[in-house]
Structure formats: C-alpha cells, structure tokens
C-alpha cells in the first residue's frame, strides 16, 4: 500500500472587508491612507451597498499590506469602487506590489444622482488578476483627481482577495526553508520516487486541508493539517525502508 497526500482546496478567500452594509464589518483601520480624506466611512443613498470606505480624492492613496502571503500562483482582487460626482477623465489606478494592474476612467454623467445630488454616482464591481512573486502583498488604490472632494471623490467596498491558484508548499527544513516541493490546485498528479529529506514544514492558505497517510497504517490518517506548520519534529515518510515523498491524490 502506498503513502499519499490528499489535499482539499475549500475556500480560496484570504482577506475580505466591507462586504455588508454593517459599519462594524468595514474595518478601515486595516488600510493606510496618504493624502486627503474626508472621512473613514460614509454612505451613498440608503439602498443595498450604500456603505463605503471614503470619500477620498486629491491624489490620495489607500494601501493594504499582507505579510507571509500564502503559496499561490495567481491572485485575484475583487472590489467595488464608488464613483462620486464629476469624474471627468482623471485616472483611478490599482497596484499590486507597485505594479499597476488596472486603471479606471469614468465620465461625470455615469450613474444617477444619489450621494450629494451634484453629479451622478455609481458603485461598480471590478475583478483583476495578477501573478504572485514573493510572500508579501501590498494592494494600493490611488486617484489622480485635481479638484475638491465635493466635486469629485471615490470610495470602495466589497474588498476581497482570493487565491486564483492556491498551492501547498512542503519544505525539508523548519520555518519554510530548505528544499521545496509544491502542489497547486488543478495540477496533474506529481510523483517523486525518492526524496532525501523529511517533511519538516508545510505552508498553505486558509481553508485548505492536507491529509497524509502512512503506507503501513491501513486506512489511517497519520497527519492532518488545516493550518501552516512551521516545524514538524517527528514526521518521516518511509516506504521499503527509504524516504519517499507520498503519492499525491487530488480531492474530487
């Protein structure tokens, strides 16, 4: 009987904020604001999705940094942007680790007069993907507006960061160092007939379950993890008296 690893990729959301109209769900303190800010939370009208973080303008940047970002080949940002009043060709930009991944240009007449009854307003949903390099991620939202907040401003809500292709990293040393073997969602089975090290640490995103079964223990789960493991002191896979990486069986 062979050893195997079975990985359940459940929910790929890493971070979400302000996805309801409850003010307690909009944690504006998670973000760093540089520039002109009229407030931290506001509402545009009284209907669904009226609550937003803002308003911002006059070349303001709003950033969120996540350290030790989970293993991932691609990140997806979903966000709702409130266009408030007279956007007239200025550019709104979205960055990931200082690389621009999207830009938005709107005209003043888009939407309906809801917020201040000066110009038209609208909340639009956007989704953008980018490749991930490294373990830290900084998302920056930035405007290039040149008029007062009462003439043109913006806000945001429904901020969701997802792993487009979540992965699990297996390392030969503690603290996620040494040799690396990676398995990502949707990949074909990976096999290594012999690997000359113990699995000493496992790095993965939330909402993933890793089950490792031993070849000598029929039907039993030797190890099961639902969070990253910085140091596994006493785990070694043995098969025919040799260190061997287990066969990977993807979940259905």
Domains of the chain: 4-10+166-250 (2.60.20), 13-163 (2.60.120.200)
Give me the pLDDT at residue 242, please.
Answer: 45
Average pLDDT over residues 160-184: 88
Phi then psi for 25, rounded to 5 degrees? Answer: -85, -5
Predicted confidence (pLDDT) per residue in 107-154, tens digit: 888 899 988 878 899 999 999 998 877 778 999 999 999 998 889 999
pTM of the full structure = 0.76
Confidence of residue 213 (pLDDT cuts 50, 70, 90): low
Model confidence band, residue 189 (pLDDT cutoffs 50, 70, 90): low
In degrees, rounded to 5, the angle at the alpha carbon of residue 3 between the alpha carbons of residues 170 and 6 is 60
Tell me, what's the pLDDT at 214?
Answer: 53
If phi > 0 it is left, if psi is from -120 to 50 it is alpha, else beta; for residue 186 that is left
Nearest by Cα to 197 from 247, 245, 248, 249 = 245
Higher model confidence: residue 6 or residue 190?
A: 6
Nearest to 74 by CA among 6, 149, 7, 12: 12
**Mean pLDDT: which of 19-23, 42-46, 149-153, 248-252 is highest?**
19-23
Q: Cα 18–22–27 angle (5° rounding)?
A: 40
Mean pLDDT, rounded, for 15-20: 96
203 or 218, greater pLDDT = 203
> Nearest CA to 59 among 81, 91, 27, 30?
91
Instruction: State the chain's mean pLDDT as an integer.
Output: 82
Would you say residue 244 has pLDDT above 90?
no
What residue has token string 């709104």?
A: 92
């Amino acid at each position: 009987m062979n050893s195997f690893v079975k990985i359940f990729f459940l929910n790929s959301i890493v971070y979400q904020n302000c996805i309801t109209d409850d003010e307690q769900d909009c944690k504006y303190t998670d973000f760093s604001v540089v520039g002109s800010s009229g407030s931290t939370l506001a509402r545009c009208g009284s209907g669904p999705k009226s609550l937003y973080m803002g308003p911002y303008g006059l070349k303001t940047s709003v950033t969120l940094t996540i350290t030790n970002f989970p293993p991932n080949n691609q990140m997806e940002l979903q966000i709702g942007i409130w266009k408030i009043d007279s956007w007239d060709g200025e550019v709104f930009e979205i960055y990931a680790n200082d690389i621009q991944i999207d830009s938005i240009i709107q005209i003043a007449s888009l939407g309906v007069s809801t917020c201040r009854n000066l110009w038209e307003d609208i909340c639009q949903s956007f989704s953008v993907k980018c490749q991930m390099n490294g373990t830290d991620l900084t998302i920056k939202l930035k405007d290039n507006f040149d008029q007062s907040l009462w003439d043109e401003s913006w806000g945001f809500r429904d901020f969701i960061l997802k792993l487009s292709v979540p992965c699990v990293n297996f390392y030969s040393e503690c603290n996620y160092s040494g040799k690396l073997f990676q398995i990502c969602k949707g990949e074909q089975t990976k096999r290594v007939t012999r690997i000359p090290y113990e699995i000493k640490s496992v790095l993965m995103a939330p909402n993933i379950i890793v089950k490792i079964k031993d070849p000598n223990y029929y039907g039993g789960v030797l190890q099961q993890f639902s969070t990253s493991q910085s140091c596994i002191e006493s785990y070694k896979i043995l098969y025919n008296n040799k260190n061997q990486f287990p066969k990977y069986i993807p979940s259905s």
